[in-house]
Structures are given as C-alpha cells and as structure tokens.
Amino acid sequence: MTDRLIIFDTTLRDGEQSPGASMTKEEKLRIAKQLERLRVDVIEAGFPAASNGDFEAVRAIAGAIKDSTVAGLCRANDRDISRGVEALRGAKRWRIHTFIATSPLHMEKKLRMTPEQVLEQAKLAVRFARQHCDDVEFSPEDGSRSEIDFLCRVLEAVIAEGARTINIADTVGYAVPQQYGEFIRTLRERIPNSDRAVWSVHCHNDLGMAVANSLAGVKVGGARQVECTINGLGERAGNTSLEEVVMAVKTRKDFFGLETRIDTTQIVPASRLVSQITGFVVQPNKAVVGANAFAHASGIHQDGVLKARQTYEIMTAEDVGWSANKIVLGKLSGRNAFKQRLKELGIELDSEEAVNVAFQKFKDLADKKSEIFDEDLHALVSDEAVSSAPEHWKLVTMHQASGMGERPHAEVVLAEGGAERRTAADGDGPVDATFKAIERVAKSGTELLLYSVNAVTHGTESQGEVTVRLAKAGRIVNGVGADTDIIVASAKAYINALNKLHGSERLHPQTSQPTP
C-alpha cells in the first residue's frame, strides 16, 4: 500500500529568514515558478505582515502559481491573518498557516503569556482564519519541547476550530529521530479528533538531524506532510532539505511505502537557482545536489559503476536533473528563441525594454562564451541592469590593472540617482582595489563578512559568480554578481549587496524584531 506524502516547501519563508538570504519580489517569483515545475504541493511564499515588500511578493506569487497551493505565515492574531488573507486571496488554492509558541520556555519568556491565554489565542486565530479560508494549518512553535498534556489540549481545540493540518515544529533542532517520531505518534493516538487533520513535520538542523527527524516523524509518527527547503536553506544550520527527503522516500520506497508528486528531474535546477539567487553556495559533498554527489573518483568505484551501475549508485544523476544542465542557446540564437527559453524557465521580464536589455546582455555574453546554459540565463537576468528592483547604486563602467610586482589599481564609475561618480583606489589585489574604489564613493560603513567565487557552469570560459556578504548595524545581506570577468562580477556583487542594504526593514515572524 502506498500513500501520498505532501511536500510543503518553505524556502521563500523559513529559508529566507536565514541572515543574508533575503530576496526581491522578482527573485521570489522565479523560485516559486521553479517550485511549481518541481511539483511541490504547497509553496509557503512568505510572511505577509513582515513588510509591504513581503506582502507584495506573496500577492504576486499567489497570482502566478496555478499548480501548487500557496501559503502565507501569520502569527496567531487577526491583523496578521487579515494581511495574509488579503495577500493570498487571488490564488487558485491558498492556505493560511498560523502559529503560536506552546513550550513553557517560549510562553513564559518570549510571549509572557499563561498556557490558558495561549490556548485561547490559538483557538481564536484558527476560528478567525477559517472564516476566510478553508485550508488552515496550525503550528505549535517549539512544539517538540512542549509539555504533551498541554499540547494535546491545544491541538484538539484547534482541530475542533477547523485546522486541517497540524505541524509539529522542532524550532531549535532539539529533537532526536526516535523520540520525535514517537512524540507525534502519541499526540495522534491521544487526541480524539486527530484523524481530522493531516500531521506535518517541520525540523531545523541544529544537530544535523533535520532530515532524519522528519523521516522519523513520517515513519514512526505517521506524519503525511514534510516542511522543507531547497538545499536545506534556513536560519542557523538550516531546515530539512527537500531533495534529501524526496530522494530518500523515492529510493527507499520499499521501506517508506510512500509517494510524492515531485518531478525529481527538477531538483538540481531548483537547487542551482536558489543558490544563485541567495548566494548560499552548495557544498560539493552535499547529498543529491552537491557537485560531487554522483562523481565516482576512486578507481574501485569507477570500475564497479562501469560493470553495473547499481554497485555503487542508488539513484542516477539524471533522476535528480543533473542532465538538465544543457546548452540551450548560442551566438546565432535570435530574440524569439531567447524569449522562448526565458519563458520555459519561468522568467518573466516586466517590460519589452527589460527584454531588450537582457537580450543585448545575452549577445554580449555569447560573444565571450560560445555555449550558453540555463544557469547563464538565470545569472544574466539576476543582473542589476535587467531587474526592476529599486537600485541606489549602478555600476556604469570599470577598469582595473594589476600584474606581478605591481600594486593593483581600480577605476570605477558609479551612478547614484542618475549622477555619475568617478572613483579610483589601489589595493592588495584587484578585488580589494575595486571594493576600496567603490567605498570611496559609497562610504557605506559596512563590514565584509564573506567573499566567494564560483563557476556558473564548467570550463574556464564559464561566468564567475561572486557572493559578497556585508553587515551593517546588525543587518546582513548577500550580494550576487556574475560575469565572465570575475573582477567585474565582484563589483556587481558588492553593489548588489549595498543596494539591498538600502531596502526597507522587515519583521522576523518568530521574534517580532526587525530581521538581521
């Protein structure tokens, strides 16, 4: 007997809470469309009450997605839920996901509420949400550290109010697999109306057990929804990784007896897109989506794989979409072919002018490198000159000179609100000189936390993709830039990060404080 496991993706909400992973509306839309191609059941598009920007992003995703349910996170109060309803109501299928903390520690220290007050607020929130929406999910935050008797009372009450999904959050990644699975099984056994809800798992990876805990919640606890993110993106050590859960259930169907709706060949494209947009690089030995996940380096393994693949391979690279990395366009491709491929990738530029700018950039790129891959197109449209996101700084042009035994020198022209500013600096290396030149004008007072370079595709003609992480007054942002010249890519990434720092503040759903 197989039954279905619901895949609830929260890359755009819990994943985005990771410091530096904030995304623009356009970026979120591109990821949402890839998640739809991946055939996830539910896309948690954001936290509409966080800011106007988040609200607009959730509304845009709700309007664009047809094949997945679109969910929005709301604290357990009428204001958040009304905001969620407003953002989501244009969707074909939508869900309100409301939550409140139920552990003694969170109730006393964070909420400063008694258990009875929390119980009442949870009931009122679900009742209010159900007046507007049939599909309501309730999460007891820090559920895995909550007292079971109290949790049973809360969950029974919210199911009676109409919550259709109950999601047991392991908010701080404290659970261990057997115990978490049994905890969910006990809740389901003890709560009289438990069969009126789908049970869900939501695990954080602080002890490296998020995937194991989620799978135990499914196998031992009987959960039928897993909340997860692409590449395990998320605060601190991240969330349960979607690709690992999906491939575990598929590869070990003999053990789990479950099926998902996921088109697994879209996993690698989704992973690359999320990494490219957020600047969170995937470690080479990461299961399923790491560059080495299917590389059989040792002689013994290669010999075995050549004789019979199954000797060392339990799934194939093609199964998870490694072959989707193909040449799509070249120097001779015309505007229509270019537009068509963008459409297939779910990339919608909001004006003909933006298409023209992107097409010109594509032509320039095709002059530099003969083969253009999907990853190149994603990098190209992420570029600040194509995106419609508001920009304080723009890179107009730059030049740098360096050589053995010479002090590197960079000259940069930046535009600030239309006015061009010319600047120059020396540095310890060409990247250092470029950043110093930009800072002479920008005077941002930021601290550089991370600088990393990756190849977008393979070969030395690949575009270099640079991530720059900057911090200022407790806020952290990632900037990403791509170019065949990695110094230019570095300047773009730095400017992208500066522009993000100009963005407005947003609320963190769980701490109710501005996000770092």
Q: Cα separation of 197 and 423, whole Å?
A: 61
> How near is the Cβ of 14 to Zn ion at its closest, in Å?
4
Site string for ligand KIV, 457-496 (x = CB under 6 A): ----------------------------------------
Q: Which is nearer to ligand KIV, 79 or 309 (CB)?
A: 79
The item of ligand KIV, Zn ion, none sharing an interface with residue 33, based on CB under 5 to 8 Å by kind, is none
Q: Of 401, 419, 418, whose CA–CA distance to 410 is shortest?
A: 401
Pick from 139, 225, 276, 463 the residue near ligand KIV by CB under 6 A.
139
The item of ligand KIV, Zn ion, none sharing an interface with residue 44, based on CB under 5 to 8 Å by kind, is none
> How near is the Cβ of 504 to ligand KIV at its closest, in Å?
22
Pick from 8, 55, 94, 99 the residue near ligand KIV by CB under 6 A.
99
Q: Which is nearer to ligand KIV, 53 or 509 (CB)?
A: 509
Pick from 41, 80, 141, 375 the residue near ligand KIV by CB under 6 A.
141
The item of ligand KIV, Zn ion, none sharing an interface with residue 139, based on CB under 5 to 8 Å by kind, is ligand KIV
Site string for ligand KIV, 385-424 (x = CB under 6 A): ----------------------------------------
Pick from 7, 9, 12, 14 the residue near ligand KIV by CB under 6 A.
14
For residues 43 and 63, the answer to whether their CB atoms sit within 8 Å is no
Q: Cα separation of 204 and 213, whole Å?
A: 9
Q: Cα separation of 465 and 13, whole Å?
A: 24
| φ/ψ of residue 42, rounded to 5 | -130, 135
Q: Which is nearer to ligand KIV, 169 or 482 (CB)?
A: 169
For residues 16 and 22, the answer to whether their CB atoms sit within 8 Å is yes
> How near is the Cβ of 112 to Zn ion at its closest, in Å?
22
Closest residue (Cβ) to Zn ion?
14
Residues 3-32 that bind Zn ion (CB under 5 A): 14
> How near is the Cβ of 299 to Zn ion at its closest, in Å?
43
Read out DSSP for 252-320?
A: THHHH-EE----GGGHHHHHHHHHHHH--PPPTT-TTTSTTTT---SHHHHHHHHH-GGGT-SS-TGGG
Q: Which is nearer to ligand KIV, 146 or 278 (CB)?
A: 146
Residue with tokens 């407003």: 86
Token pair recorded at residue 241: 């990784």
The item of Zn ion, ligand KIV, none sharing an interface with residue 141, based on CB under 5 to 8 Å by kind, is ligand KIV
94 alpha-carbon distance from chain centroid:
19
Q: Which is nearer to ligand KIV, 240 or 496 (CB)?
A: 240
> How near is the Cβ of 277 to ligand KIV at its closest, in Å?
21
Q: Of 238, 156, 140, whose CA–CA distance to 196 is shortest?
A: 156
Residue with tokens 């199911």: 159
435 alpha-carbon distance from chain centroid:
28
**245-254, long-range: CB < 8 A, 24+ apart:** 245/7, 245/211, 245/214, 245/215, 246/7, 247/287, 247/288, 247/315, 247/319, 247/320, 248/211, 248/215, 249/5, 249/215, 249/218, 250/315, 251/314, 251/315, 253/2
Site string for ligand KIV, 201-230 (x = CB under 6 A): -x-x--------------------------
Site string for ligand KIV, 165-194 (x = CB under 6 A): ----x-x-----------------------
Q: Cα separation of 294 and 288, whole Å?
A: 8
Q: Which is nearer to ligand KIV, 76 or 191 (CB)?
A: 76
Pairing of strands 225-228, 6-9: parallel
Q: Which is nearer to ligand KIV, 145 or 286 (CB)?
A: 145
> How near is the Cβ of 451 to ligand KIV at its closest, in Å?
30
Residues 435-454 that bind ligand KIV (CB under 6 A): none
Q: Which is nearer to ligand KIV, 457 or 510 (CB)?
A: 510
For residues 94 and 84, the answer to whether their CB atoms sit within 8 Å is no
Q: Cα separation of 293 and 247, whole Å?
A: 13
The item of ligand KIV, Zn ion, none sharing an interface with residue 240, based on CB under 5 to 8 Å by kind, is none
Instruction: Tally Cβ neighbours within 10 Å of residue 184.
Output: 25
Site string for ligand KIV, 49-88 (x = CB under 6 A): ------------------------x---------------
Beta bridge partners of 435: none
The item of Zn ion, ligand KIV, none sharing an interface with residue 99, based on CB under 5 to 8 Å by kind, is ligand KIV
Residue with tokens 């990853």: 375
The item of Zn ion, ligand KIV, none sharing an interface with residue 214, based on CB under 5 to 8 Å by kind, is none
C-alpha atoms less than 13 angstroms from C-alpha of 442 in its C-beta half-sphere? 26
> How near is the Cβ of 251 to ligand KIV at its closest, in Å?
27
Q: Cα separation of 216 and 201, whole Å?
A: 9
Q: Cα separation of 65 and 117, whole Å?
A: 37
Count of residues near ligand KIV by CB under 6 A: 11
Q: Which is nearer to Zn ion, 13 or 224 (CB)?
A: 13
Q: Cα separation of 247 and 244, whole Å?
A: 5
The item of Zn ion, ligand KIV, none sharing an interface with residue 145, based on CB under 5 to 8 Å by kind, is none
The residues of the shown chain that bind ligand KIV, judged by CB under 6 A, are 14, 73, 99, 139, 141, 169, 171, 202, 204, 509-510
The residues of the shown chain that bind Zn ion, judged by CB under 5 A, are 14
